[in-house]
Every structure is written in C-alpha cells, then in structure tokens.
Structure 1
Amino acid sequence: MQTAHVQALEAKHATLDQRIHAESSRPMPDAALLADLKKQKLRLKEEISAAH
C-alpha cells in the first residue's frame, strides 16, 4: 500500500514538473501560477521523502 501511495505522489510530481516546464516555455509565463506549481511540487517532494 505504501508503495502505491509513493508511486501516486511521484506521478503527481512528474505532472507538476511538466506543467512548470510548459508554463515556463510560454512567451509570457504567469509568475503567480509558476510559484504555486513550484510550491505544490515542493510539498509533494517533501511528502515523498517522508514516506521513504
């Protein structure tokens, strides 16, 4: 069960990484959105580290 949870968190982390990259690549990236996505990604990373 724990492994499935960690895998789900890692999948969400990868999705956020893709969204951050896509937003950063836009001609006029939304700074507030980028900041929010990065905070979400950091929270997930901390949760993944805690689960290991």
Structure 2
Amino acid sequence: MNEQEILQQKLASLRIEHRDLDDVIARIGEQAPYDQLQLQRLKKRKLALKDQITRLESRLLPDIIA
C-alpha cells in the first residue's frame, strides 16, 4: 500500500467521523434540555476533523499554479 492509498483511507475515515458527528450534534440539538458543554466539545471536534480533512485533501490534490 503506497502513501496515496493510506492518505485516501485516512481521508475516508475522517469524512465518516465528521458525518457521524453531524448526526450526533443534530440529535442533541433536538433534545431539550441539552448539554451545552457536550455540544460545544462535539462542534470543536467536528471543526478539527474538517481541518484535518482539508489538509489531507490538499496533500492528495495539490494546487496547480497555472
């Protein structure tokens, strides 16, 4: 397995976790009352995942300067 394939697998895993967090955050937001601290932590984790996804995508698809 080469580095490209490893990065693609990691990217797929991060995307799944990001999507799962979306679902959890939506469900927590629908419940009343909800734990604001837990919700903030989940949103922070989701943002960190998005940053990791963006970094991996840029490594896999480097910008081509024309």
TM > 0.5 between the two?
yes
| Counterpart in the other structure of 2:56 | 51
The answer to whether structure 1 residue 3 and structure 2 residue 8 are counterparts is yes
Cα distance in structure 2, aligned partners of 1:27 and 1:38:
18
TM-score (norm 2): 0.76
TM-score (norm 1): 0.96
Structure 1 segments unaligned to the other structure (5+ residues): none
Structure 2 segments unaligned to the other structure (5+ residues): 1-5, 58-66
Aligned length: 52
| Counterpart in the other structure of 1:33 | 38
**Letter paired with 2:14:** L
**CA RMSD of superposed structures (Å):** 0.5
Runs of 4+ displaced beyond 4 Å: none
Cα distance in structure 2, aligned partners of 1:2 and 1:27:
39
Cα distance in structure 2, aligned partners of 1:25 and 1:33:
14
